[in-house]
Amino acid sequence: MAESEQDPPKDASSEDENTVSEDLEELTEKVTEHFDPKGMMTPRSSTELPTDPENAVESERIPISEELMNNSVGGNESPAKASNRDDQQKETVFEDVDSISAERHLPPPTPDHETYSAEYREITQHNEIGDQKEDQFEQVKPEFQGPAPTPTNDQLQSSPENLLEMERAMVSQKSGQLTKDDLGLVNVRKDGQGLLDSAPPRLVSDIFCQDETIHQDVCLCAVAVGADNPMGKCPPDTSLVDTAICDTVFEEHSYMKQNSLNLVWSFGINQNTPVHALHIDNRRLILYASSHTAVMNNFSITRQHHFQGHSSPISCIAVCGNRRWVATADQSQESLVIVWDTFSGIPVQTLFDCHPEGGVGALAISHDAKYLATVGTGAVQTFIAFNPEDNTELLSNNKTEIVFYSWKGNQVDFASPVLTDKTFNKIVGLYSQSVFHLVPSQVLTATSAGNLVIWATEVTTQLQLDAVKQYKKRPFKLVNLQNDSITVVTVTDRYIVTCDVKGCIRFYDEELCLLNWYSNLNLGPIRSISFSSQPAPKANEKTAYPSECTINAQQFVVRNFVVATFDATVAHVTGDGCKLEMLLQEHSGALHAIACHPSQSLICMGSYCGLLKVWDYEKKKPVCSRLFGTGNYIQCMTYNKAGSLLGVGLTDGCVHILDALSLNDEHSEPFQYAKDAITDIAFSHDSSYLATVDSKTTVTVFNFLKGSWMYLGRQNAHFKPIKSLMFGMYLDSDQPRLLSLGEDRVLVEYDLANSTGDDLRILSSDRIEQSALPTCMAWYPPITKESFIIMANSQYKLKLYNATTRMCRKTVLSPIYGSPLRKIEILPFSNSNEPKFGYLAYITDNKVGLQTLPLDGNPHKSCAFICHGSMVSNVACSYDGCYIFTAGGDDCTVHMWKVDLKAHEAATALGGKDLIPFYGLLEGGRDGELFREMENYFYYSQLRYQRISTMETREVSPQIPLQEIPFMMRALAFYPTEKEIEDMLNEVKFSKYVDTGKYVTDIDLGEFIKLYINHRPAFGISASEMQHTFDVLGYENDNGEKAIGLGELLQLLQTRGECLSEEEIAESLSTLLGLNPEGGSSEFDAFDAKEASKLLNQQLPQEITSELFTYDILGFPCNLSASPCADMMPMPAAPLTEMQKEKWSQSQKTF
């Protein structure tokens, strides 16, 4: 261990550094003067000694609205440097957690209480206090006798820190209550008597972890476990936070949730967030982040509790000293900071929009849980921490800079000392983390060069200035501890702890002398280390602590701790006996591949780190795993129907067929016929075929013949990426059939029976969409007599296609939760012989949902929940339909959701029956203008069908013929294409054909409303879609605008897509421009196309730009709203007379 004793050069403007020393008795007298006989502080003059920082905070509390505090930097800093410091300071936000008590009538959080070390207890032991835990509560003093006894001069040196300890001796005269002073010192008050405990916060006994006594952290009551009469009863209106104990959150009732989908288990961990040990009574209880959820995992009882409140990935987790209060933060434009009670699992405070520029990048909570500090992602600083001895001191650092803060009231002072390689003539390295030293006024910073930077306070000749300018620090020493990069530095008990990139943990004393180290843990680069809140047992003949690396070789007494690495491994180390237990070994790469076993409670996960792992999700235990070589990224996988084989596709094009139990290869060598990633893989129902899809739109099929797998052939049947691949069976046989669906809107079926070696043939190819992009497909469950294929598209529609004829038989509005459906899975059925209902699981960009079948468009039959903070990439269902699993992709996590069908049906019933849910989808509802127009058009259609000029008696009917459906739709401003009209007519016509053998020829108003709601565009046609069309078909003119020539535009309208005749084009354009005084042709009169063509040639330019076509011809409003529905209704291009306006309005509803 090399240590540099050379001091850095001092700035010429810096103040002289002098050591302040004072006799302990004199300092004690000065402190005693600030207390009145009742134990309360008296007002201080400007020259008085610095009082306890938290007491100062109580009198000058910072309101939450003043969370951003600025102050200029003193000294000889340049203006540019000062500006940088100011920007960094602006990113630091201080929040007063005591506002919880004011806003929600809850008491403030409790400070930390850790048990004395053996050495410190001998120094600071009170006169009449015994070793029993009960004495801390039962022994009382008759009255306040002044400050607590202090150590002698030869035991503890006089320092401002000792003054702070003496000032903590404040006792209230209230009786009969368990109370704490501002620093969280526990006192039992009986009949005016009180017990004072003035140990430093790091060494105060942690009564929360004691077996015999449970201390309610809100200070309302303390209950003796097993006692008949509690010490104090909580009022009947006390919240769960008041009455909760450490086991409350894991009680059975805490899992009674009433959602359709409930998160019950999380696999995986956010590697970039720390893992915290919440050990209580030697239980293995840890806290970590899994995507957007904070997980409290109790390994002793194999149970998790999830803190759900964030919608984006959690970026920071911080815990207070006693581990009860936890703060979490995320990174998003609408970032949240949430404070949780780990005893009850309840969020007690939520802070909104802390850093709208991109979320929270670093978070710290004070030792006593009274204050929060956050740093935004836009800031330079990436780490922040409070001084556990003084809440008014903070530090933050990034890789090259460290900033020290000191705040009081609404004023924040900060400084950023400069340290370069020239300061000590040594390589400093990049900063990783910083921590306040055990030695007062010193700070330690670890670097990538294996160094430890010691920052010391610039000492002045006046004690007052020394206290005020604690943030004025300079680099004092640069100590080289090792050659490897140090990733973590922290302090526990009397040790300084460092962790490095090779998984080594080292313990030093205050003088940085090495005491012990752990180098044989076989861990990767360490991300965080967290020590138990339970104190370590004292060393004796029965303990098996390792020996210190000192001459005395005493037992190295250390608390149990938890270590987390950057490769998603979490290990628990027991100090007594040096026992290592791996708690978590999760995926460290993007996780896209998941598959559920078809008959057992097993789920297999594969990720880009090459790890393939099988879990028993009922027992929450791993079954087996396999690690592929470096660079073998697992992209997809699937089980065969029997559950004996597992097909795995890699990103390099390799296909492995594995035994499902041992994960060994069934084939000697993996198949590799593709050069690109395998994006989908599927087995046939009889396991005779295996099909894969690569990213170059190619389908590859393997056949099982003569006891081995053989290559059958490849086919490039799509010209755009394939979105879905699935096997099925023919209706008249059990032969497998293979289908693929691509973004080219084509459904392809392959002829497996007639395909031979290296010749995969196509049986059929059908275009199924006009403009929408298919996103996924699945086999519709057997709840109907027909066999259907269900497909989802990019226009928020779900469609049913006949499996044989490919006819679209039904179209409904799909669930709308931020994005179209990305993948769908049918939940397996129960043992019912003829099921009438089914359920469909689906995922969107970041949500998982449940949909009731059969489909009818009722929005209340679907629900969705945020399942991952970023993009969800895959979904799978358990064999019994009780669980749904979602894979988060880049967040390396999988979440397990329990399906509650009773809760889902109850939520559906609340939406109403029959047409009530659909009335809510109409503008204005049942009493709105749109519904009244439907009724009027409905009866007018009967008049039109029976001919208006007829003299015969009219028949009023509640139904209209199917031929009137297109006219009704256009009258309601929905202009479907001919293909869409055909789909609507077929949907109604064949709706009862299977049951009755007859076609449906009429439709009533209720069925028409459903048809209109399900077929109309979910968000209308937006101006951006029109702009995209011109981007594809047009050219850029001299003004930089996208344009199409008039002749070319007319030719496209007559030759591409659903072609229009010349008369239809002339009539439509003249009507849109308001050139036709009659508003277009009537039902019986012929339209004069020649006159309209002349008018068009005079009015339309030879070059049509996208803006001209969108706003002037089609009449889209120029002031577009953010909602895509706002520009759905076209408006006339030019001002019209009142008569023209009326005719134009009628033309929009022409029959």
Amino acid making up residue 794: S
DSSP β-bridge partners for residue 790: 778, 800
State the residue for tokens 């019912």.
832
Three-state DSSP at 547 gives strand
- pLDDT tens sequence across 853-895: 999 999 999 999 999 998 999 999 999 999 999 999 999 999 9
Q: Poorest-confidence range of 725-729, 808-812, 1025-1029, 1122-1126?
A: 1122-1126
Q: In this predicted structure, which of 144-153, 231-240, 246-255, 823-832 has the lowest mean pLDDT? A: 144-153
Whether 117 has a pLDDT exceeding 80, the answer reads: no
For 763, 929, 1019, 1096, 1115, the CA distances from 1143, given in Å and listed in that order, are 53, 20, 27, 19, 15
Report residue 773 as tokens: 């992009």
At 1078 the pLDDT is 53
Q: How many residues does the chain have?
A: 1151
223 neighbors 230 (Cβ within 8 angstroms)? yes
| 563/532 Cα distance (integer angstroms) | 11
> Is pLDDT larger for residue 1038 or for residue 99?
1038
CA angle 535–536–539, rounded 5-degree value: 140
Residue type present at position 1069: L
Least confident of 62-66, 854-858, 1055-1059: 62-66
The strand pairing partners of 736, in sequence order, are 729
Confidence of residue 1088 (pLDDT cuts 50, 70, 90): low
Q: Is the dihedral of CA 467, 470, 472, 477 positive or negative?
A: positive
Does residue 155 surpass a pLDDT of 80? no
Query: Does the pLDDT value for residue 325 go beyond 60?
Result: yes
Distance CA 224, CA 248 (A): 16
Read off the pLDDT of each residue in 1019-1031 and give the average, rounded to a whole number.
85
Sequence-distant contacts of 493-498: CB under 8 A, at least 24 apart: 493/117, 493/202, 493/203, 493/558, 493/559, 494/117, 494/119, 494/438, 495/558, 496/435, 496/437, 496/438, 496/444, 497/529, 498/446, 498/452
d(CA 862, CA 845): 16
CA distance 378 to 358: 7
Q: Would you say residue 70 has pLDDT above 50? A: no
For the segment 540-568, what is each residue's pLDDT rounded down to a tens digit?
888 999 998 888 888 999 999 999 999 99
Omega before 149 within 30 of 0, i.e. cis:
no
How far apart, in whole angstroms, are the C-alpha atoms of residue 258 and residue 21? Answer: 64
Please report the pLDDT score of residue 24 as a whole number: 38
Mean pLDDT of the chain: 77
pTM for the full model? 0.78
Rg of the chain on CA atoms, in Å: 37
Give me the pLDDT at residue 950, please. Answer: 65
pLDDT band at residue 197, thresholds of 50, 70 and 90?
Answer: very low
Question: Between the CA of residue 755 and those of 697, 714, 819, 987, what are the distances in Å?
Answer: 19, 10, 39, 35
**C-alpha distance from residue 359 to each of 398, 665, 1009 (Å):** 17, 46, 44
pLDDT score for 1090: 65
CA atoms within 13 A on the CB side of 236: 0
Of the listed ranges 163-172, 981-990, 995-1004, 1088-1097, the least confidently predicted one is 163-172
How far is CA 607 from each of CA 320, 592, 648, rounded to the nearest angstrom? 34, 6, 11
Residue 53 CB neighbours (<10 A): 22
Q: Which of 601, 604, 573 is nearest to 587 (CA)?
A: 604
Give the per-residue pLDDT at 204: 41
pLDDT top residue among 1095 and 593: 593
Compute the Cα dihedral for 149, 153, 154, 157 and give only its sign.
positive
User: pLDDT tens, 744-760?
Assistant: 999 999 999 999 888 99
Count of alpha carbons within 13 angstroms of residue 263, beta-carbon side: 24
Looking up tokens 């009180």 gives: 194
Confidence tier at 517 by pLDDT (50, 70, 90):
very high
pLDDT at 944 over 60: yes
Of 753, 696, 685, residue with least CA distance to 722: 696
Cα separation, 824 vs 780, whole angstroms: 11
Q: Between the ranges 129-133, 278-282, 393-397, 695-699, where is the mean pLDDT highest?
A: 393-397
Q: What are phi and psi of 675, to 5 degrees?
A: -100, -10
Question: Which of 143-152, 238-247, 806-815 holds the top average pLDDT?
Answer: 806-815
Return the residue matching tokens 């000032």: 167
Helix pair 1046-1055, 1062-1072: axis angle to 10 deg = 120
CA atoms within 13 A on the CB side of 348: 31
Total Cβ atoms within 10 A of residue 989: 15
Q: How many helices (H) and strands (E) does the chain have?
A: 22, 64
Q: Which residues is 914 bridged to in the sheet? A: none
Q: Which of 966, 974, 977 is nearest to 1056 (CA)?
A: 977
pLDDT, tens digit, for every residue of 1114-1126? 888 875 443 333 3
Alpha carbon dihedral 70, 76, 77, 83, in 10-degree steps, equals 40
Residue 634: its pLDDT value, please? 95
Q: How far is CA 779 from CA 597, 729, 825, 1143, in A?
A: 19, 10, 9, 49
Q: Does the pLDDT value for residue 33 go beyond 50?
A: no
By the 10 Å C-beta count (0-12 exposed, 13-18 middle, 19+ buried), 1099 is classed as middle
Q: What is the pLDDT of residues 678-728, one digit of tens each?
A: 999 999 999 999 999 998 899 999 999 888 999 999 999 999 999 999 999
Question: Coil, strand, or helix at residue 134?
Answer: coil
d(CA 557, CA 561): 12
